[in-house]
Structure 1
Amino acid sequence: MDIRQLTWFLAIADARSFSKAAASAFVAQPAMSQQMQKLERELGVELFDRTSRPIRLTPAGEHLYARAVPILGEVQKTQMEVQEFSGEFRGRIVTGSMQYLASVEMADILAAYRNAHPAVELQMRIGNSGQLLDLLRARQLDIAYCHADGVVDEDEFDVRVLREEELVVIVGPRHPAADGTTMRVDDLLDQPLITFPPGAASHEALERIFATAGAAPKAWFESADMATAIALVTRGLGVALVPRSVASRDASIAPLSISPVPVTLHVAQVSRLDRPRSLAIDAFASRAAAALSSTRYSPG
């Protein structure tokens, strides 16, 4: 039994899937499966009930999980403490960010941190809020920056809300509403929609808006990223719901507040409650929180 096997075991147990755990760890699934089979042979027990979907832990697996979490926590904590004797921050920080934060704000934060602490290895993974929380659950991230509204279990995560951000409807320059400042929900129901995949906070918000009006959104296009959605909007192919900070970067689109009640989300800094944090991670978290809290994108 080694540290890598225990780390992969926890990732599989948290994701309840070999394929999801392997993907989040950037490991080939057969390699991960072979290591788990090797661990089971070494221990003489089955750790996973592979007949269920999603997979479940056996009683032996549940016992190992309960022991492995504090063991790995102590290993990580010890590594961090020893590295801090060097007098400078070392180690690795794996952050997760929504795409629209990563392209400008997080890029600036990472660059400033790298200049201040060049011995720290920085990695960043991009995803929507749902994907980032899955990566946190699979222990593949130290800290994530995402929308926390309605999707974060505060018994599992440490959540620090950094700012409120308005979601606005963006329309192209030739759209009839382009000269206005608001769009009523009743009018939004009739618009051709450009949506984002499930897991994106704007996707969930759009569904809630329509559900309140007794309708369901019908997407004309689904975009995995903001840049493509904006390109479709500017060409008159539909409207999209995006954070105001995104809309403010492009003069070719018109941002419209939803009327009568603007829709807002909360950008948050999220980490696991049971994952130890080094001084290097704490310093990064403080820098990122200060930067992301400094700009206001709420209604009014």
Structure 2
Amino acid sequence: MRYVVAVAETNSFTRAAERCLVVQSALSHQVARLERELGARLFERTSRRVRLTPAGEAFLPAARQCLDAAERAAAEVAAAVGEVRGRLAVGVISTVTAVDIPGALRDFRERYPQVRISLRVAASDDLVEQVKEGAIDVAFLGLPTTARPQGVAAHELARDRLVAVVAPDHPLAGEAEVDLRRLSSEVFVDLPAGTAGRAQSDLAFEAAGLGRTVGFEVTSADFIARLVRPGLGVAMLPSAYVPHLSGVVTIEVADAPARVEYVIWSRFSRTPAATAFLAALDIPATDG
């Protein structure tokens, strides 16, 4: 099953063999043996590519679940004798500031070298779904103050207000403070519509009875700044995040929207590594 997953993810028997640290002939033999046992071909092989058959598409999710269950079982046994191992899959939004994620992962790896760590950057809503599905163990996200993560355990980390971000030569750059009405006439750079990060600003303008134009939609806060810097638009970003940016000017917003940063994990089960990681961050395991 591990070989099948590797071939499916790499679309190559050669790369899958390299990933699994076996010779290609051995990997191909084992996959063929499994196909005979199942009575169906899992892959279509041509000289140019390898892809899953319908049977392979049906087999892959179950194979992943079996491998995850086996890994979890081994990790639970290790935890019972005082050893933390297995995987720690972490998800973050690009603007998280309440926790120094690189530093936290570095310290955790030094303390628990047997744990395999991975990191994924995504939107808050996507991270919640991936925690529910078990694809991610712990995630750090930001939501409007009117929302709270649903279907997962959550602990509030920090609250922050958004500030306006403009180019150094923008007419507003010399202002100490602006309001949403004054900003509403500007062209905005923002996150994609439908994301939690975008909703923070959308809801604030709607509550004030104002409209605005979002001319540029991007998925990265850093790229937002790259578009603001030459004057293509203005943006609103968390005040704790903007010190990481250069070449832009920050302005306080009198009626600015706020956001809440959370750390979330599964309500139903936590891997030993996830439990250890939350403990290292002094996150109460009783939060819900």
| Residues 133, 32 of structure 1: alpha-carbon distance in 2 compared, 3 angstrom cutoff | farther
Structure 2 partner of 1:181: 176
Q: How many residues are treated as equivalent by the alignment?
A: 231
Structure 2 partner of 1:287: 280
Structure 2 partner of 1:226: 221
1:271 aligns to 2:271 (yes or no):
no
Structure 2 partner of 1:80: 75
Distance 2:279 2:232 in 1: 41
Shift of 1:231: 1.3
**Which structure 2 residues correspond to residues 36-185 of structure 1 after superposition, within 5 A?**
37=58, 78-101=73-96, 105-149=100-144, 150-154=146-150, 156-185=151-180
- State the AA in 2 paired with 1:226: A
- Identical counterparts, % of pairs: 21
**Unpaired runs of 5+ in structure 2?**
6-50, 284-288
**230-239 or 249-258, larger mean C-alpha shift:** 249-258
Query: What do the CA deviations read for 1:208-255 (whole angstroms, capped 9, x no partner)?
Result: 122123333321211221111111111111111111122112342222
Name the structure with the higher helix share. 1
Distance 2:108 2:72 in 1: 22
Residue of 29, 34, 44 corresponding to 2:55: 34
Distance 1:193 1:152 in 2: 26
**Unpaired runs of 5+ in structure 1?**
6-29, 40-68, 291-300
Q: Is the partner of 2:102 in helix, strand or coil? A: helix
Structure 1 partner of 2:243: 248
Structure 1 partner of 2:37: none
Larger radius of gyration: 2
TM-score of the superposed pair, with normalisation by structure 2 = 0.69
Kept in 2: contact 1:167–1:202 (CA 8 A): no
Q: Is the partner of 1:100 in helix, strand or coil? A: coil
| Residues 217, 138 of structure 1: alpha-carbon distance in 2 compared, 3 angstrom cutoff | farther
| Residues 266, 38 of structure 1: alpha-carbon distance in 2 compared, 3 angstrom cutoff | closer
Shift of 1:147: 1.3
| Residues 110, 183 of structure 1: alpha-carbon distance in 2 compared, 3 angstrom cutoff | same
Distance 1:249 1:128 in 2: 19
Query: What do the CA deviations read for 1:82-119 (whole angstroms, capped 9, x no partner)?
Result: 022453311101110012339x9211211111111111
Shift of 1:257: 2.4
Residue of 217, 231, 235 corresponding to 1:236: 231
TM-score of the superposed pair, with normalisation by structure 1 = 0.67
- State the AA in 1 paired with 2:173: A
| Residues 181, 31 of structure 1: alpha-carbon distance in 2 compared, 3 angstrom cutoff | farther
Distance 1:73 1:244 in 2: 39
